[in-house]
Amino acid sequence: MSKQILMRKRAKLVALIVFLLGLILLTIIGNWWPAIMLVVSIPLALMQYLEGRRYDMWITLFVFCGAFITVQFDIQWEVFLPVLFSIGGIYIFFREWIEGKTAKEEEEAEKKASLTKDDNDKD
C-alpha cells in the first residue's frame, strides 16, 4: 500500500466536497445520465488516492469511467457491458463500506494505544 496522504476523515471530507460540486454542476447542466457516473467515480477515486489505496483508485476509475464511455459514445454491447461495470461498481461500494468499518476500528485501537502510551510516560 502506498503512503497515506490525508487521514481518512479529511479524505472523506474532500471527496464529499468534490461530490457536492459535481452534483451542482450536473444540476446546472441538466445532463444526468451518464455524467452521474463521473460524479460518483471521481470523488471516490480521489478519496482512495488520498488514503494511499492506488490499486483501488484505478479499479474505481476503470469501472465507472468505462461505464460512462460505453454509454456516452454509444459503444456496442449497450446492455451487457454497463451491467458488468455496474456490478463492479456495486462491489466497490460494498468494499468501501466494509473497509470503512475496519479502518474505524483500527483508528480506535491506535487512539487507545497512544492514550496508554501517554499514561505510561506520565508515570
Query: Which candidate, 49, 48, 41, places its Cα nearest to that of 66?
Result: 41
Model pTM greater than 0.85? no
Q: Which three cell numbers stand for residue 80?
A: 451487457
Distant-in-sequence contacts of 108-117, Cβ < 8 A, 24+ apart? none
pLDDT given for residue 80 in this prediction: 62
pLDDT given for residue 102 in this prediction: 65
Query: Which candidate, 97, 103, 83, places its Cα nearest to that of 44?
Result: 97
Encoded amino acid at 1, one letter: M
pLDDT given for residue 74 in this prediction: 75
Mean pLDDT split into 10-residue runs, the chain, 123 residues? 78 92 93 88 92 83 80 72 74 74 68 67 59
| Per-residue pLDDT tens over the stretch 82-107 | 776 777 778 778 777 776 666 666 67
